[in-house]
Amino acid sequence: MNSPDIMIFEPNMGGHHAEFTCHLMRYWLDNIEEGTLLAAIAPGLLEQQPRMSAGMVRPPRTERADLETPLPGSQASLWQKGTRNRELLTGAIERHRPKHVLVMYLDHAQLALAGGLRFPFPVRISGILFHPTLHYSGHDSFSPRSYLQGLRKRLVLRAIARNPHLDTVFTLDPSAVPSLRSLGLNAVALPDPVVQTGTEGRAPRQMREDFAVESGRRMLLLFGSLTARKGVSQTLEALALLEASEARQIALLMAGPLDAALRPLVESFVAKARSRGVQVIQHDAYIQNDAVQSFVEAADLVLAPYQRHFGSSAVLIRAAVAGRPVLSQEFGLMGANVRQHGLGQAVDTSRPPAIAAAVSGFLRNPCLGFDPEAARRYAQANTPEQFCQTIVDRLVPSFSRS
Are 222 and 175 contained in the same domain?
no
- What span, in angstroms and rounded, lies between the C-alpha atoms of 45 and 24? 14
User: Is residue 238 domain-shared with residue 370, that is, in the same domain?
Assistant: yes
Give the pLDDT of residue 323: 96
Whether the predicted pLDDT of 196 surpasses 80 = no
Tens-place pLDDT, residues 288-299 = 777 889 999 999
The verdict on 280 and 293 lying in the same domain is yes
Q: Taking the C-alpha atoms of 157, 163, 164 and 167 in order, what is their torsion angle to the nearest 10 degrees?
A: -40
Asked if residues 230 and 259 have their Cβ atoms less than 8 Å apart, the reply is no
Residues 369 and 391 in one domain: no
pLDDT at residue 274 tops 50: yes
What are the strands, taking DSSP E only, across 14-72? 37-41, 62-66
- Does 400 map to a domain? no
Specify the pairing of strand 326-329 against strand 344-347: parallel
Do the domain assignments include residue 198? no
* The pLDDT of residue 115 is above 60: yes
Strands (E), 308-383: 326-329, 344-347
pLDDT tier at 371, thresholds 50, 70, 90:
very high
Return all residues near 267 (Cβ < 8 A) that are at least 6 apart.
Answer: none
Q: What's the pLDDT score for residue 189?
A: 95
Looking at the fold, whether 373 and 389 belong to one and the same domain comes out as no
Model confidence at 163: pLDDT above 90: yes
pLDDT at 305: 97
> DSSP of 298-315, one letter per residue?
H-SEEEE--SS--S--HH
Q: Provide, rounded to the nearest whole percent, the portion of the chain with pLDDT above 90.
A: 73
Determine the pLDDT at residue 200: 61
Average pLDDT, the chain: 90
SS3 357: helix
Task: Kindly report, residue by residue over 244-272, the tens digit of the pLDDT.
Answer: 999 999 999 999 999 999 999 999 999 99
CA-CA-CA-CA torsion sign (129, 318, 12, 148): positive
What pLDDT, on a 0 to 100 scale, did the predictor assign at position 290?
78
- Domain-located, residue 402: no
3-state secondary structure of 226: strand
Q: How many CB atoms lie within 10 A of CB 102?
A: 28
Half-sphere exposure of 393 (CA within 13 A, CB side): 10
Tell me, yes or no, whether 77 lies in a domain.
yes
User: Is 84 exposed, middle or buried (CB count within 10 Å of its CB: 0-12, 13-18, 19+)?
Assistant: middle
Confidence band, pLDDT 50/70/90 cuts, at residue 82 = confident
**Residue 153: pLDDT band by 50, 70, 90 thresholds?**
confident
Whether residue 164 is found in the same domain as residue 274: no
Host domain of residue 265: 204-380
Same domain, 281 and 175: no
Q: Which amino acid is at 332?
A: G
Cβ-contact 218, 186 below 8 angstroms: no
H helices present in 162-287, as ranges: 177-182, 204-210, 232-239, 244-247, 263-276
Longest CA span, the chain: 70
CA dist., res. 328 & res. 221, Å (int)? 12
Select from 123, 128, 76 the least CA-distant residue to 105: 128
| Model pTM score | 0.82
Which CATH number characterizes residue 243's domain? 3.40.50.2000
Confidence band, pLDDT 50/70/90 cuts, at residue 326: very high
Same-domain pairing of 233 and 321: yes
Contact by Cβ (8 Å): 197, 291: no
Q: Considering the domain boundaries, does residue 142 fall inside one?
A: yes
Task: Verify that 371 and 391 share a domain, yes or no.
Answer: no
> Residue 1 domain-assigned?
no
Mean pLDDT of 135-154: 66
pLDDT given for residue 135 in this prediction: 64
pLDDT one-digit tens code per residue, 199-219: 566 899 999 999 999 999 999
Banded pLDDT at 356 (limits 50, 70, 90): very high
The band of 351, judged by pLDDT with boundaries at 50, 70 and 90, is: very high
Question: How confident is the model at residue 139, as a pLDDT?
Answer: 46
Domain assignment of residue 199, yes or no: no
- Sheet containing strand 279-283, edge to edge, reads 279-283, 250-255, 218-223, 301-304, 326-329, 344-347
Q: Are 253 and 265 in the same domain?
A: yes
Q: Is there a single domain that holds both residue 368 and residue 321?
A: yes
How many domains does the chain contain in total? 2
Tell whether 216 and 295 lie within a shared domain.
yes
